[in-house]
Structure 1
Amino acid sequence: MMTSHLTTHVLDASAGRPAAGIDVLLEHRDGAGWTEVANGTTNDDGRIGDLGPERLETGTYRLTFAVADYFAATGTPTFYPEVTVTFAVDADQKHYHVPVLLSPFAYSTYRGS
């Protein structure tokens, strides 16, 4: 099993449960703009444990969480159709975990462990 340098976890704070079925795109910023590195979908626990390669090079990355379909599936209106988190990676760091706490009209994120 491949171990990813980056993992994520989405919790629906308004419902008090993991946010399953959210499509997530990982991109790297280069001289030409943004280049896709990987993509995945949160599992029943709201996690993606294998998002991207075993090692990411040093640089700027972003995760885009497509949350509109997640909320639409429950008939919940949302202000944010997607959530984008941009962050810096140091290739010497062992692991990056980027959790998102989500609700229809707010979100928060932090560097997890």
Structure 2
Amino acid sequence: MSQVTTHVLDAAFGTPAVGVAVELDRKGRDGWSEVASGATDGDGRIGALGPDRLEGGVYRLVFATGDYFQATHRPAFYPEVQVSFLVTGADHYHVPLLLSPFAYSTYRGS
């Protein structure tokens, strides 16, 4: 398992959000650079996003929520969701996203 994983749930339907494109970026002196990318599976999860070890620093997950809602034929307010977080060690960072067309929430999972 990689150091960063995610899980996207469609709170409006109460189901996993399948096929959401997600990008993992790292913040550097010259701005953001992509570390890895993937798409959620049939359970709404990405179990391996990026390398097994990340350098300490600020990272973000960028979820392509607009594309997901367009594919499910629903209007949505947020074309993407960006969640920034701090990597400080070799811990596992699980960053779930609860999603609906007009709201979202996130937390540090386990």
Shorter-chain TM-score bucket reads over 0.9
In structure 2, the partner of 1:31 is 29
Letter in 1 for 2:60: R
Letter in 1 for 2:28: D
Matching residue within 96, 100, 106 for 1:99? 96
Q: TM-score, normalised by structure 2?
A: 0.97
Identity within the alignment, %: 64
CA–CA distance in structure 1, aligned partners of residues 55 and 13 of structure 2: 36
CA–CA distance in structure 2, aligned partners of residues 34 and 41 of structure 1: 20
Task: Please state how far the C-alpha of 1:85 moved relative to its aligned partner.
Answer: 0.2
Matching residue within 54, 70, 73 for 1:72? 70
Matching residue within 3, 7, 10 for 1:9? 7
CA–CA distance in structure 2, aligned partners of residues 53 and 40 of structure 1: 13
Letter in 1 for 2:53: R
Task: Please state how far the C-alpha of 1:53 moved relative to its aligned partner.
Answer: 0.3
Displaced runs of 4+ in structure 1, greater than 6 A? Answer: none
Encode CA deviations 1:38-93: one digit per residue, 9 max, x unaligned. 0000001000000000011110000000011111122100000100000101123x
In structure 2, the partner of 1:89 is 87
How many equivalent pairs are there?
110
CA–CA distance in structure 1, aligned partners of residues 60 and 72 of structure 2: 27
Q: TM-score, normalised by structure 1?
A: 0.95
Gap regions ≥5 residues in structure 1: none
